[in-house]
Amino acid sequence: MSKPGEPLRGEAAWKAAKQGIAARNEEAYARGRKERAARNTAFAARRLEEERRANRDLPSRRAR
């Protein structure tokens, strides 16, 4: 066993490095999901506004 303050060695160091990589990957995935959701929300809002504008410009149907 290592004493407190000693750097990890061997398999313990490998497991710690692996856990660190996994944690950074999860953070990156979470950040990506958040950014993608924001982009999709902005895209949907723009598209809805474009559809409203296009529908507003259509000729109206009036009863004869």
Express each pLDDT in 11-63 by its tens digit: 999 999 999 999 999 999 999 999 999 999 999 999 999 999 999 888 887 75
| Burial (CB count within 10 angstroms: exposed 0-12, middle 13-18, buried 19+), residue 22 | exposed
CB 9 within 8 A of CB 16: no
| In a domain? residue 1 | no
SS3 label, residue 10? helix
Instruction: Tell whether 5 is covered by a domain.
Output: no
Residue 32 domain flag: yes
Residue 2 lies in a domain: no
Q: Is 30 among the domain residues?
A: yes
Residue 7 is assigned to a structural domain of this protein: no
What is the domain range of residue 19? 12-56
State the pLDDT at residue 31: 98
Please state the domain count of the chain: 1
Say if 63 falls within a structural domain: no
